């Protein structure tokens, strides 16, 4: 029997990755994880200065090439420019992580159509456009990893979250459909469903009775997740170790969906 590659399967040296929403929160945590495994990184976000600073810090910490690109993921023109910039910088696109997302909370009769549409545009249309932008290049090189950030709330429900749960449920199904479409080209498409991570999006509700009873209280571990706890699964799905994973929906939720 040949020697198994073991830990070398997780080596991303020489690979290139685009991470949207990559200048903070889960996106930055996953960017740091991939950089620590040797990948070159392009952070994509709307705030150019914030992205530039984050990229410089990653380069200094991990010694890989880390760039930033300012783009709105809801713009087809800008997502296509994003892919073109990554190709120019790295020569190929090996990994895409779609981490850009927003949440607008509220009862359905307090929310506007504009609120619902905005969440769907960023979380669903933005994810779709970024996938569409990199797909031709990954198909041509016959390899690639696309990792979509869905959510535990794409699997289970929670009141006052109709825009967000609808969007993340759509991302789950988009992942499955695209995974089947791109599998013949050796492009692996999978999704991560994070549970309650204490990101900027969740800080406003961190100490609320709702969070204590129905969010953190719904997990088996009964605590908020730390940002580092998303990193292992990001490296896994971006690496050769995930070569047989197609359309997988992986929960990192402290046991929320186990009950």
Which residue in the block uniquely carries the two structure tokens 């825009």?
Answer: 163
Is 2 part of a structural domain of the chain? no
Q: Would 67 be classed as within a structural domain?
A: yes
pLDDT of residue 200 exceeding 80, the answer is: no
Q: Is residue 86 part of a domain?
A: yes
pLDDT of residue 209: 82
Residue 5 domain flag: no
User: Is residue 69 included in any domain, yes or no?
Assistant: yes
pLDDT of residue 100: 97
Tell me, yes or no, whether 6 lies in a domain.
no
Is 1 among the domain residues?
Answer: no
**259 in any annotated domain:** no
pLDDT at 3: 67
Sheet holding 40-45, edge to edge: 66-70, 40-45, 16-20, 95-98, 144-149, 187-194, 249-252
Q: Given this model, what pLDDT does residue 210 score?
A: 81
Average pLDDT along the chain: 95
Model pTM?
0.95
In the set 164, 197, 224, 256, the catalytic residue is 164
Given a contact cutoff of 8 angstroms between Cβ atoms, the answer to whether 100 and 124 are in contact is no
User: Which pLDDT belongs to residue 2?
Assistant: 62
The total number of structural domains that make up the chain: 1
**CB environment 24-52: b (16+ within 10 A), e (fewer):** bbbbbbbbbbbbbbebbbbbbbeeeebbb
Residue 164 is a catalytic residue = yes
- Reported as a single tens digit per residue, the pLDDT across 35-78 is 999 999 999 999 999 999 999 999 999 999 999 999 999 999 99
Q: What is the CA radius of gyration of the chain?
A: 18
Q: What is the pLDDT of residue 232?
A: 97
Lowest mean pLDDT among 30-34, 38-42, 187-191, 193-197: 193-197
What is the residue range of 86's domain?
Answer: 11-252
CATH number at residue 229: 3.40.50.720
- The answer to which of 123-127, 128-132, 223-227 has the lowest mean pLDDT is 223-227
């Amino acid at each position: 029997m040949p020697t198994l590659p073991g830990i070398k399967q997780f080596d991303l040296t020489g690979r290139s990755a685009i991470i949207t929403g990559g200048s903070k929160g889960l996106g930055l945590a996953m960017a740091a994880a991939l950089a620590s495994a040797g990948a070159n990184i392009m952070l994509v976000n709307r705030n150019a200065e914030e992205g530039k600073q984050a990229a410089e810090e990653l380069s200094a910490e991990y010694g890989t090439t880390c760039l930033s690109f300012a783009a709105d993921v809801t713009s087809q023109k800008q997502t296509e420019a994003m892919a073109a910039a990554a190709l120019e910088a790295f020569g190929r696109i090996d990994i895409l992580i779609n981490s850009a997302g927003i949440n607008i909370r509220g009862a359905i009769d307090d929310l506007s159509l504009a609120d619902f549409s905005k969440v769907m545009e960023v979380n669903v249309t933005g994810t779709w456009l970024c996938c569409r932008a990199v797909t031709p290049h990954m198909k041509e090189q016959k390899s690639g990893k696309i990792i979509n950030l869905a959510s535990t709330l794409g699997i289970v429900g929670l009141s006052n979250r109709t825009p967000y749960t609808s969007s993340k449920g759509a991302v789950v199904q988009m992942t499955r459909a695209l995974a089947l479409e791109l599998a013949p080209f050796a492009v692996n498409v999978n999704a991560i469903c994070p549970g309650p991570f204490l990101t900027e999006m969740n800080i406003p509700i961190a100490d609320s009775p709702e969070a204590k009873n129905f969010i953190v209280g719904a997990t088996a571990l009964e605590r908020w997740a730390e940002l580092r706890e998303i990193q292992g699964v990001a490296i896994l799905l971006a690496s050769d170790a995930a070569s047989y994973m197609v359309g997988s929906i992986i929960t990192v939720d402290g046991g929320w969906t186990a009950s």
